[in-house]
Structures are given as structure tokens and as C-alpha cells.
Structure 1
Amino acid sequence: MSMIAAFYSNKSVLITGATGFLGKVLMEKLFRTSPHLKVIYILVRPKSGQTLQERVFQILNTIVWTTDGFGNVTIQ
């Protein structure tokens, strides 16, 4: 187990700015390297005529998420 995976094992993480480039990269890195991460909370606000749900859907449908290993990702 890597140091990153060990540190985040069974932990919860809050990410602000999740719709930006760095937020997406951080989420992808955490999903890929920390299989035992308990939960990731993201703070998203409505913007430019889009609802919260539309923005989250847009985040999860970007090219970052097309790699393998995300079978356990759920939206709550």
C-alpha cells in the first residue's frame, strides 16, 4: 500500500473547487490511488444557468473519468 493510500484509508475528504481543473485532477488521483477512501464530499455551487446536479454530472462525464477502476463511485 502506498503512503497516499495508507494516509487516506477509511478517511473522508472535502474538496472545494471540484469543478475546476485541479479539483478534477485531485479527485481522479484520490480514486485511483486510495481504494479504501471512505467518502469524497465535493462543494459545488450553481453557476451560469446550470443546476448543482448538472454540474456534478458534467464533472463525472469528463475525460478524466474514462479510465478504469471507478466501479465503486456512487453519487449521493
Structure 2
Amino acid sequence: MNYLPRTIQPVIEEASKFFKIVMVSGMRQVGKSTLLKQLSSDKRTIISFDDISSLEAAKSAPLQFLQLNPPPCFF
């Protein structure tokens, strides 16, 4: 399957230059993870909150969650 560029892609690329953490949110199954995989490099981790354990960890202990998942990353 070929990747279809998203119109938000340049905005995320620009934000990535200035911010260590970039959060992308939106409806389910619209291509957020695919977009981030396309944009990520070996230097930026992708953390999906579709994983319930990641979501709960971020909610219950946000500082510890960030220590375990240091920037640069995409949420």
C-alpha cells in the first residue's frame, strides 16, 4: 500500500524542529500512526495511547511516564 501524504504533515514537521514532544490527536483509524511512522526517524519515539497500559501510566503518573519515555517523541 502506498503512503498518502496528509495535509497536516508540514505542520508536524515544522513543530518537530522546535518542540521535543509533539502530540497528534484525532479520531480513530484516520492515519495518525501511519503519518507519524512516515515522519519519525531513529531519533524520535512514537508512543500510542491505543495501548491502554501507556494511557493509564500517563494518566496516573505523568512525570514518571515522561521519565520512562524521554523526548524527542511523538504522542
TM-score (norm 1): 0.39
Q: Which has the higher contact order (CA 8 A, sep 6+)?
A: 2
Greater strand percent: which structure?
A: 1
TM-score (norm 2): 0.39
